[in-house]
Chain A
């Protein structure tokens, strides 16, 4: 009947049209980059793409301190144009489990790029299927390594668990983020609030793992306590990778910002500008990569962990009283933000304060406290007993000694003695239990 054939046609059209229009996730450029002239924007985009790739096609920049995931092995035999590779893996299951993530990972021969990419790998038989350039380069006994599956694994987990708040680019602006009073972290400055490292140092891998496992109490960052360790580590690597990508973009912006903003470059010729940018940036990315490597490797250095020199002073009434005195002293001025009773309602919340990350002495036009991401930041109400960065004594010690990166909570480790920091810590811990109003706690 005519009506049936019409219906089939409609269905066929729908299905044909459907399969081609999946929208893939894409990295976005930050606002500073978008403020440059188009030629400069393109240059930044291209550099980022060649160093990091796209979310669907990740690029491995091996010198970065990221665990991209690597399997190594030897080609045991070649037959019918297919290579059989014995990969050294911890257990046969490890490779099998990572099979979906291995697809697309780069294959290297004797450490050099082969242009091949993994299409399939059968852990039992060892059959390795590749696509890309000439697969015949895989000769018997060749040393083969497969790189990038770990990063892909992290990416897949990130897209499933993290992306909708933290965004595809790690910009803290995913679709769900707009409903949050406390914004998700924008990784792209390389700054993370709750770390164990010194004020100018990046977070360590353990710091990131801790936040993922424990969550950030009092915010919408949930605890992923029950994710297996290997998944948490993979996500952590991907987060670090996103942070490095963001930092590279920042560095490129700084490099180009003066000369290629719309004001500076408005009357210049496109071709001339392009050539100039090219020469300006040649070799720069490698240089920046070295900086990134050094920065992020420093974070793993034990010497950069904020470690109390003295053991915690016992939390007796004397210590708490000393802590209280320090809290309201002019030397430390905790009360100016945290309020005289620790409720987070200090006068700074209504003052015109320094612009974070801006020129010293330059005051903001808007009253209140802000972080370097431009969000309003509320000093913690210490009477609730909720500690975002952790509730161990060492966590509070670190908040006081090293500050909270990116926020007006400064580092007092230089101006206070260890015992004084412990006294303040003890006082802070006592605050929720003073003047107990009924049923106030969570």
Chain B
């Protein structure tokens, strides 16, 4: 009894008829092929990762060696990172952390998950030949570049030292009144426009993904036979579609306030920078509600796809089905649904109605539940498995562990009385870096080598991958775990020089240690970049299914050609039938394998 890895059904797609070859520009630059677009997203976001990381190192440097010019960088950039007196100025510090967060959130994490992996994997995993709207897909990538341009322009337009400096949360009144802060002029407006472009790009993607997943699944692929990656992308797309318009609206309102004199957010009678008293009528809290209404679902947008991908990778690496597939799906849906009703937990101390504090506390506590269920299910997945420890497995296990830390630390913030103390301290910074970097980014660091063979037809170097993992893991925990302690010590966020406050003076050595770990972590990413680029040329060539995985994408060539599959796939079962007794000769059973009766 033999298993064939491809069903011998030839099907000629009608819309391939009369198809002409695009030139180089059409094929690689303005490509409408989801695979190329996915790779374009991947490379752009990896580049932005380095930019965002460099900005973070600027922040960390100031906290470790306050008021010193950065060695080398200072001279190389012609004094950019250090103004008069050889030290960075306080307003420059505010720009560093604002742009670090803006770049990381809008130009790295959201695009890498939805744009890079979503784009590449969705059609392949569901057996489609491309996305539902290929042109829209191309536009969604190219709209990232105006966003990058706007963010970059906001750095330069006020003179090199005047990027937006009001936090990525951009709270009015600080970001609304032009005189209130150094960058609250043109740079802030450009930042908002950049945000709008990111939003447009995301919306295009989200519409595309929802349509593709609903309409273009291969025959036999019911919803509950979809891999969890697809579920996560689907749910994420729904989150994007419903939450993003609120951010865009808020952004327009703020631009209108700043440039057209509308009064949404600024109350009257405020005297800022010796200006005339403001003529107002606005409510600063309105922005916070609108902003967080999007930005809380945004954090789940930045998490769910990684959860889905880790589930797929983990099942493959431990050669076992996912423990509790349907609870996993329902948990993701619950996280997304509950994600819409928890935004107020960012605002417990903001002065909003205290009754809201109580309701948001309860909903926020409840959102911990599906996350916990998922963690238990991942552990259950590994239970009784056969594990091979390579780069992918290491990163996935790190994902689980870091997510546990990040999730658990959230409990103190969900509980309102403790959040009174922890809000706007480094405790929050620790929490979100554990979930965004520790979980999501480690998930991506696992996903890159896992799907690299499919993307480029070669495997990445596993030794370098393990080295990258080790250094990143050590650097990451060294940088961010102590932040929990800093938060407990009452170390506020966004302080250029915390040490003028006596109760924080003794925390300087710890901050130095954290900065050194951060530098280690930053340098370690060069290993990833090197591995990524060099494997194009000297990586071991990969077969169609180098990991012996079950998904539909592994039936296509590595890399897949135009149209993805040489034979249109038909799906017979779920994606996690590893170690199935139905297949006596192998420990995996692909979704497309037909079991021919004896």
Contact = CB atoms under 8 A, between A and B. Distances in A.
Interface of A: 3, 7, 11, 14, 17-19, 21-25, 55, 159-161, 163-164, 167-168, 174-176, 179-182, 218-220, 378, 384, 439-440, 442
Contacts of A175: 83-84, 89, 91-92, 161
Contact of B71 (A18, A160, A182, A219): A18
A442 B278 CA distance: 13
A385 to B, nearest CB: 12
Given A21-B75, A160-B497, A218 B274 contact: yes
Nearest to A179: B182
A175 B73 CA distance: 19
Interface string B216-248: 000000000000000000000000000000000
A168 B91 contact: no
Nearest to A20: B71
Nearest to B66: A160
B146 interface: no
Contacts of A442: 271
10 contacts: A14-B72, A22-B69, A22-B71, A160-B497, A164-B84, A164-B90, A174-B85, A182-B274, A219-B274, A440-B269
A341 B463 CA distance: 79
Given A17-B72, A164-B87, 16 more contacts: A11-B523, A21-B71, A21-B74, A21-B75, A23-B74, A23-B82, A161-B500, A164-B83, A174-B84, A175-B83, A175-B91, A175-B92, A179-B91, A179-B182, A182-B273, A378-B274
Contacts of A159: 67, 85, 87
Given A160-B497, A163-B84, A3 B530 contact: yes
Contacts of B482: none
Interface string B296-330: 00000000000000000000000000000000000
A163 B85 contact: yes
A22 B68 contact: yes
A23 B273 contact: no
A220 to B, nearest CB: 7
A440 B161 CA distance: 35
B526 interface: yes
B549 to A, nearest CB: 29
B280 to A, nearest CB: 12
Interface in B29-47: none
Contacts of A384: 271
Given A21-B74, A25-B84, A159-B85, A180 B273 contact: yes
A378 B275 CA distance: 11
A175 B79 CA distance: 12
B337 interface: no
A2 to B, nearest CB: 11
A168 B530 contact: no
A55 B86 CA distance: 12
A114 B43 CA distance: 64
Given A175-B83, A175-B161, A7 B526 contact: yes
Contact of A181 (B66, B85, B86, B179): B179
B160 to A, nearest CB: 11
Contacts of B523: 11
Nearest to B271: A442
A181 B181 CA distance: 11
Contacts of B69: 22-23
Nearest to B274: A181
Contacts of B83: 164, 175
Nearest to A218: B274
A303 to B, nearest CB: 36
A164 B83 CA distance: 9
B71 A181 contact: no
Interface residues of B, number: 38
B43 to A, nearest CB: 20
B54 to A, nearest CB: 13
Contacts of A21: 71-72, 74-75
- Main secondary structure, interface of A, reads loop
Nearest to B273: A181
A404 to B, nearest CB: 16
Interface of B: 66-69, 71-75, 79, 82-87, 89-92, 161, 179, 181-182, 269, 271, 273-275, 277, 464, 497, 500, 523, 526-527, 530, 534
Nearest to B272: A181
A179 B120 CA distance: 47
B271 A167 contact: no
A182 B179 CA distance: 12
B161 A439 contact: no
A19 B84 contact: no
Contact of A23 (B86, B92, B179, B526): B86
A181 to B, nearest CB: 4
A23 B75 contact: yes
B417 to A, nearest CB: 28
Contacts of A378: 274
A207 B73 CA distance: 41
Contacts of B271: 218, 384, 442
B463 to A, nearest CB: 8
Contacts of A160: 66-67, 497, 500
B364 to A, nearest CB: 35
Contacts of B269: 439-440
Contact of A176 (B68, B86, B90, B526): B90
Given A17-B72, A168-B85, A220 B500 contact: no
B307 to A, nearest CB: 33
A176 B275 contact: no
A382 B71 CA distance: 49
A18 to B, nearest CB: 3
B86 A174 contact: no
B89 A164 contact: yes
Contact of B273 (A14, A168, A220): A220
A179 B178 CA distance: 10
Nearest to B72: A18
Contact of B86 (A25, A179, A219): A25
A209 to B, nearest CB: 18
Nearest to A56: B86
A55 B72 CA distance: 22
Nearest to A163: B85
A168 B84 contact: yes
B526 to A, nearest CB: 7
A53 to B, nearest CB: 15
Contacts of A11: 523
A218 B89 CA distance: 22
A180 B67 CA distance: 21
Contacts of A180: 273
B405 to A, nearest CB: 30
A354 B238 CA distance: 68
A23 B67 CA distance: 12
A176 B85 contact: no
A163 B67 CA distance: 11
Q: 9 shortest A-B CB distances, which residue pairs?
A: A18-B71, A25-B85, A18-B72, A23-B86, A175-B89, A175-B83, A21-B75, A181-B274, A179-B182
A181 B272 CA distance: 9
A219 B181 CA distance: 14
B596 to A, nearest CB: 48
B71 A19 contact: yes
A179 B83 CA distance: 15
Contact of B89 (A22, A23, A174): A174
Nearest to A18: B71
A297 to B, nearest CB: 30
B377 to A, nearest CB: 39
A381 B408 CA distance: 54
A343 to B, nearest CB: 11
Nearest to A378: B274
Contacts of B91: 175-176, 179
B561 to A, nearest CB: 32
A86 B164 CA distance: 54
A14 to B, nearest CB: 6
